[in-house]
Structure 1
Amino acid sequence: MAQSATAETQNNKSIVRVNASDATSFVESVLVGNGVSPSNASIVAKRLVAADLRGVDTHGINRIPSYISRIRHGVLNPRADPVLHQITPVVAQVDGHNGFGFPAAHLGMTRAISMAQDFGIGMVSIKRSNHFGMSAWLVQQALDAGMMSLVFTNSSPALPVWGGREKLMGVSPIACGAPAGREKPFILDMAPSVAARGKVYKALRRGEKIPGDWALDGEGRPTDDPAAALEGVMLPMGGPKGSALAIMMDVFSGVLSGSAFAGGVANPYDPSRPADVGHFLVAIKPDLFMGLEEFKERMDYLYRRVLGSEKMTGVERIYFPGEIEQITNEERLRDGIPYVESEVEALNKEAALVGVENLKTME
C-alpha cells in the first residue's frame, strides 16, 4: 500500500488520502468480485464515495466489510435486481428482493422524479430492501433533476421510545431537499438521535471514545465507550421529539411498505438474517404554485437571510443546512478523501479475498 506523501495524523492515527475516482473503481471491483452486477456495483460505489466526499465517513466505503459479510452469510442477495410495480399514476412500489438498498432506492427515486415531472408529485414505497447509506445522495439525485424531495427510511432498533429503556426504534434519518438558483440548495439529512449510530461504529473501528451524551450502556448509564454504547441505546435528540420522529420513520417506511417495523429490522452488522428495511421517497415539482424562477429566487432569498442573520456570541459564520457537507465535498474532490490506515487495511483484506488490487492511495 502506497503511503501518503505528507505525514498526516488523526487522533494520533496515521491517515492516507484516496482520490474519489480510485475509491469508486476499487469498490466496484470488490462488489463485482462478490457477485454484484457491474451496473448495481456502480450505483453502490458512487453513493458510498459520495458520503465520504461529503464528510459523512460513517456511511462511506468503510461499510463494505459489513456488507460483504452479509453476502457471505447468505442474508443479502448480491445478484438481486429491484422490481418496480406501478400502483397509480403518482404512486409506485419497489421490491428490493433483499438486494442492496442503493439500487432499489435509486430506481425508486428515478421513478418518483419521472412521475413528478408528469404529474407534479411522485411517491415510491420500497420493501424488502437493505441499508442504502447516506440519505443525502437521494436528495441530490432529486436536486439534479430540479426536484424537491422527501427521503425516509427505517432501520434496526437502537433507540428507546420516550420513557422506555429497550431498543425499539431505529436511528432512522429524515432527509429532504429543495433546489435554488444562484445560491446553494437546501439539503437536510439528520438522525432523530443526538448522533447517528454510524458514528459510534466509526469510533469503535478507530479505537476512539465518543461524547458522553450520545448513548447509554447496557445498564442505562451514560458512556463514552463505543462498544458499551452499542450494547445499550442511543439517546433521542430533544427527548420525546426525537423519539416521535423515529416512530414517524417507522410508520412511513416500515408499516406502509410492508417491510419490517417495530424493532423487526435486522442490524446491518448482524449477518444472521435479512434486514427487511423499508423506505419512502417523494419527489415534488417545485413550480407547482409559481414559476420556477420565482421559486428559485425565493430559495436564494431564504439562503441569504439565514446566512445574514445576526450571530450569537462566538459564532463567525452561519451555514445553510447541507452547506458544510458541500464545502467538504469540494475540498475532498481536490485534496483526496482521508482514511485511517487500519480502515484501508480492512478494505484491502476484502479485495485480496476476490483477487482485486489494493486501494490506491495518493502520493
Structure 2
Amino acid sequence: MTAASNTIQIRHQDAHAFVVSLLQASGVPQKNSEIVARGLVQADLRGVESHGINRIPSYLARIRSGVLDPKAEPTVTKVTPVVAQVDGHNGFGFPAAHLGMATAIEMAQTFGIGMVSVKHSNHFGMSAWIVQQAIDAGMMSLVFTNSSPALPVWGGKSQLMGVSPIACGAPGGENSIPFILDMAPSVAARGKIHKALRRGEKIPKDWALDSEGRPADDPAEALKGVMLPMGGPKGSALAIMMDVFSGVLSGSAFAGGVTGPYDTTKPGDVGHFFMAIKPDLFMSLEDFRSRMDVLYQKVVESDKMDGVDRIYFPGEIEQLSEKKRRSEGIPFVEAEIDALNKEADKLKVAKIRVHG
C-alpha cells in the first residue's frame, strides 16, 4: 500500500486468475469464467473501476441465491443470413454478449453486416470490452443493453428506465487509435455510486436525487433515490431507446422489469442488441483507415478552449489508462481487497495476490 494514494496495486494477470478461480469454484465453466474475467479486468485496466472485478461479490451473491445459473450456456438461433438471436438462459451476461458479438462479426465478414438480439441475459459489465471484440476483428459496431430501473423519464420522479450504456466503435488507421464510445444516458453511471459507497467517498450533487427528491452527495442516499439523466429530456429519450432495442425487440424484460446485478431476489432477464459492420463496404479499407486518421488528427489538434491542455479522442483516456496499468498494476483500496478476499474465504480458494 502506498501512503500517498492509500491504494494497493494488483497485477492484471493476478486479478484475472483470481476471478477465474472464484467463478470456477462457484460452478462456472472454465471457458465462461475466462470470458467474465477478461471483461471485468479490462474495465479495471481502462480505469472504469465501477465495472471491474469489484462486481464479483454481487455476482456470486446472485449465484448463491439461485437467481443466476452459473452453468448456463448461451445458444444462438439464426433468423436470416444477417440476423440471429442469442438466448442467455439466465447465465452470465458476458458469455452471452461474447457469443452475440462473435455471431454478428461472422455474419458481417460474409455479408457486410450482422445483427444479433440477446434475451434472458444478465449484466455484462463494461460495454467497451464488446466494442473492442469487434475492433479486434476489424469491425465497426453498435452495442446496446437495457438495465434495471434507476432513472426517471423526463418529467417523472420514480425509477423506470435503466442507466443503460450506449456504445459503438470503429477501427483506427495507421496514425490514429480506434474510436470507442461507451457512455451512460445519465450524468454518471450508477456503478460509480456503488464505487463511492465502497470507498467511503462523497459524490457530486448533480449525479442523483435521494428518496425525497433532493440532490444527494451521500452515495447510500443516492441509491435510495434516482439517477439524473444527462441533458434532461435527451438523456431520458436515450434510456428509452435502449429499452426499445434491447428489451422490447429481444423479448426480454423492459419498462422497469429488468432486475439489477445487486438484487438477489429474481433473474435479471436483461436484453442486448449488437451490430457488426464491415468498414470497407463503401470504399477500400485503406481509404477508410486513412479517413479515420484525418478525423483523429482534426479532433485532437482542434483549437483548445481556455484551461484545456489536451483534447482526447473518444476512448483515448481509457486506452492510455490501460497501457499504464498493464505495466504498473491496477489500484484498489483496502476495503475492496478485503471484500474480494471474503469471497475467496467462502469458496476456499487462494486470496488475491498483491503486487510487490
TM-score interval, normalised by the smaller of the two chains: over 0.9
Asked if 1:349 is matched to 2:342, the reply is: yes
Q: Choose the corresponding residue for 1:37, options 29, 35, 41.
A: 29
Does the aligned pair in 2 maintain the 1:8–1:16 contact within 8 Å?
no
* Matched ranges for 1:333-348 at <5 A: 333-348=326-341
Aligned to 1:7: 3
Asked if 1:171 is matched to 2:167, the reply is: no
Distance in 1 between residues matched to 2:232 and 2:291, nearest whole Å:
33
Q: Choose the corresponding residue for 2:55, options 50, 60, 63.
A: 63
Deviations 1:180-208 (A, max 9, x none): 11210100000000000000000011111
Aligned to 2:112: 120
* Matched ranges for 1:184-199 at <5 A: 184-199=177-192
Asked if 1:239 is matched to 2:235, the reply is: no
Normalised by the length of structure 2, the TM-score is 0.99
Given residue 100 of structure 1, which amino acid in structure 2 is its aligned partner? Answer: F
Aligned to 1:139: 131
Aligned to 2:148: 156
Given residue 326 of structure 1, which amino acid in structure 2 is its aligned partner? Answer: Q
Distance in 1 between residues matched to 2:260 and 2:173, nearest whole Å:
40
Asked if 1:84 is matched to 2:53, the reply is: no
Given residue 279 of structure 1, which amino acid in structure 2 is its aligned partner? Answer: H
Distance in 1 between residues matched to 2:25 and 2:141, nearest whole Å:
34
Aligned to 1:108: 100
Distance in 2 between residues matched to 1:161 and 1:250, nearest whole Å:
12
Q: Choose the corresponding residue for 2:281, options 288, 313, 338.
A: 288
**What SS does the corresponding residue of 2:292 show, helix, strand or coil?**
helix
Q: How far is the alpha carbon of 1:15 from its aligned partner? A: 1.3
Distance in 2 between residues matched to 1:17 and 1:107, nearest whole Å:
32
Distance in 2 between residues matched to 1:269 and 1:327, nearest whole Å:
30
Q: Which 4+ residue blocks in structure 1 deviate beyond 4 angstroms?
A: none
Distance in 2 between residues matched to 1:46 and 1:185, nearest whole Å:
19
**What SS does the corresponding residue of 2:273 show, helix, strand or coil?**
strand
**What SS does the corresponding residue of 2:115 show, helix, strand or coil?**
strand
Given residue 150 of structure 2, which amino acid in structure 1 is its aligned partner? Answer: A
Distance in 2 between residues matched to 1:361 and 1:279, nearest whole Å:
35
**What SS does the corresponding residue of 1:131 show, helix, strand or coil?**
coil
**What SS does the corresponding residue of 1:279 show, helix, strand or coil?**
strand
Deviations 1:246-271 (A, max 9, x none): 00000000000000000000111010
**What SS does the corresponding residue of 1:107 show, helix, strand or coil?**
helix
Asked if 1:299 is matched to 2:295, the reply is: no
**What SS does the corresponding residue of 1:320 show, helix, strand or coil?**
coil
Does the aligned pair in 2 maintain the 1:101–1:130 contact within 8 Å?
yes
Given residue 273 of structure 2, which amino acid in structure 1 is its aligned partner? Answer: F
Distance in 2 between residues matched to 1:123 and 1:142, nearest whole Å:
13
Aligned to 1:360: 353
Distance in 2 between residues matched to 1:8 and 1:294, nearest whole Å:
48
Given residue 339 of structure 1, which amino acid in structure 2 is its aligned partner? Answer: F
Distance in 2 between residues matched to 1:142 and 1:196, nearest whole Å:
23
Asked if 1:273 is matched to 2:269, the reply is: no
**What SS does the corresponding residue of 2:242 show, helix, strand or coil?**
helix
Distance in 2 between residues matched to 1:275 and 1:201, nearest whole Å:
18
Q: How far is the alpha carbon of 1:8 from its aligned partner? A: 4.2
Deviations 1:7-48 (A, max 9, x none): 342xxxx21000000100010000000000011000000110
Aligned to 1:200: 193
Aligned to 1:220: 213
Aligned to 1:47: 39
Deviations 1:96-147 (A, max 9, x none): 0000000000000000000000000000000000000000000000000000
Q: How far is the alpha carbon of 1:309 from its aligned partner? A: 0.7
Distance in 1 between residues matched to 2:239 and 2:91, nearest whole Å:
24
Does the aligned pair in 2 maintain the 1:111–1:124 contact within 8 Å?
yes
Deviations 1:321-363 (A, max 9, x none): 0000000000000100000111011101101111111100111
Distance in 1 between residues matched to 2:40 and 2:251, nearest whole Å:
27
Given residue 324 of structure 1, which amino acid in structure 2 is its aligned partner? Answer: I
Asked if 1:26 is matched to 2:18, the reply is: yes
Distance in 2 between residues matched to 1:236 and 1:244, nearest whole Å:
9
